[in-house]
Amino acid sequence: MPADRNDAALETLFLPFSDGRLQWPAGGAMFLRARDGWPLRQQPLPGLFCEQTFKPEADALLQAGFAVNAKDAPKTYELVLILPPRQRDEARALMARAVAMTKPGGRIIACQSNDEGARSGEADLAQLTGEVESMSKNKCRVFWTASLARLNFSLLTHWQSLDEPRAIADGRFMSRPGIFAWDRIDVASALLAEHLPATLSGRAADLGGGFGYLSAELLTRCPGIAALDIYEAENRALELARVNLKGFEARTPIDYRWHDVAAGLPDTYDVIVTNPPFHAQRGIDRPDIGRRFISVAADSLKPGGKLWLVANRHLPYESVLSENFESVRTVTQQHGYKIIAAVRAKAASKAGRSAR
């Protein structure tokens, strides 16, 4: 996320420091689910380490000069900051991790927007750690621990396990709370899988592969796939894909790539499949992300290469498809979704795309 973009939760997270109610610790801090933004530059933040599993946010932090996912980061801190996710089990597990990372006498501070469960988040932290203080601004709530002396240890143990991987779909896949469609097979992806032709062959890529469902279906239904690269921006999902697709690796080389598709792809393919996202993190509608996936797919397909995608029926992808592909066909429309097959021209010129 660009540093100048408004981020109310990030701004409010640092409100107790800018207002003088809290002091930045001399020993530094860990920022879980960190995001870049101007509030990180309001005052010096010596000793700040950041953890982020979502590639675009991690890249933005690195470009801004912060230490991100550093292997030499300390294990415990005087201060742990959190931007909890919307999914409650995942958020509770993150709070439990924060407790384990906080030194005796240290402090945890968290912030959520009101429409993403701020009051519930504050109540959860208080239930886990005892008394908390809070402030409200920007339709957000920032809350922090006074002491960790009254920890609920039985709750701590339980919450630590809330986002552990578990079996779904009758044991076929491993998943975990917080990733896309974590507790089920996504209806749109299942519809796309159902219509993939068995004749697809060559080197393939799955853009936004999640925990690996669509990749597994592609490899099962299309024996001509010679190699597969899975691109996924959320590393928590990609690690699950490694588990879920391990059984295919004996016959098909698979490369798991923690990558922001919007930045472009480093290789070219005969086949690309995708269920492109159209929401940013924090639930913001972003149909431009799906359009960018389509444009990147076009640039990454070999001449004559094939794109198979699924999208919500209302999403306006037809113009970017017609601009980038020689042939575009709506295969079916069901359950509010559309399946589209597109073919890149065998003698395609990139001049038109590069001029956009």
pLDDT tier, 217 (very low <50, low <70, confident <90, very high otherwise): very high
Considering the domain boundaries, does residue 3 fall inside one? no
The band of 2, judged by pLDDT with boundaries at 50, 70 and 90, is very low
Q: How far apart are CA 341 and CA 134, in angstroms?
A: 51
Tokens, residue 92: 């509770």
Average pLDDT of every residue of the chain: 93
Q: What is the mean pLDDT of residues 328-336?
A: 96
Q: Do 117 and 191 share a domain, yes or no?
A: no
Check pLDDT > 70 for residue 308: yes
- Angle (nearest 5°) at CA 137 between 131 and 138: 135
Residues 127, 197 share a domain: no
Domain contains 217: yes
CATH of the domain at 292: 3.40.50.150
Average pLDDT for residues 328-337, to the nearest whole number? 96
Partners of 310 in the beta sheet?
339
- Please give the average per-residue pLDDT across 270-293, as a whole number: 82
Instruction: Tell me which residue range forms the domain holding 104.
Output: 8-160
63 with 16, same domain: the answer is yes
- Looking up tokens 């870049």 gives 36
Asked if the structure places residue 2 within a domain, the reply is: no
Of 160, 189, 215, which closes a domain? 160
Interval 143-194: pLDDT, tens: 999 878 789 999 999 999 999 999 999 999 999 999 999 999 999 999 999 9
pLDDT of residue 285: 66
Residue carrying the six token digits 């020689």: 326
The answer to whether residues 152 and 186 belong to one domain is no
Tokens (6 digits) for 71: 């292997």
Same domain, 156 and 265: no
Confidence class for position 284, pLDDT limits 50, 70, 90 = low
Q: What is the pLDDT of residue 283?
A: 54
The reply to whether 173 and 156 lie within a common domain is: no
Do 94 and 22 belong together in one domain? yes
Under the banding of pLDDT at 50, 70 and 90, the label for residue 286 is: confident
Q: Are 153 and 170 members of one domain?
A: no
Give 6's pLDDT tier (boundaries 50, 70, 90). Answer: confident
Query: Would you say residue 279 lies in a domain?
Result: yes
Number of domains making up the chain: 2
Are residue 284 and residue 188 in the same domain, yes or no? yes
Burial 60-80 (b: 16+ CB within 10 A, else e): bbeeeebbbeeeeeeeebbbb
Last residue of a domain, one of 136, 160, 184: 160
Task: Indicate whether 263 and 175 sit together in one domain.
Answer: yes
Domain closes at, from 120, 141, 160:
160
The reply to whether 1 falls in a domain is: no
Same-domain status, 177 and 300: yes
| pLDDT value at 115 more than 60 | yes
Same domain flag for 235 and 197:
yes
CA 234 to chain centre: 4
In a domain, 273, yes or no: yes
Residue 204's DSSP bridge partners are 228, 271
Mean pLDDT of 226-240: 98
Q: Does 320 fall in a domain? A: yes
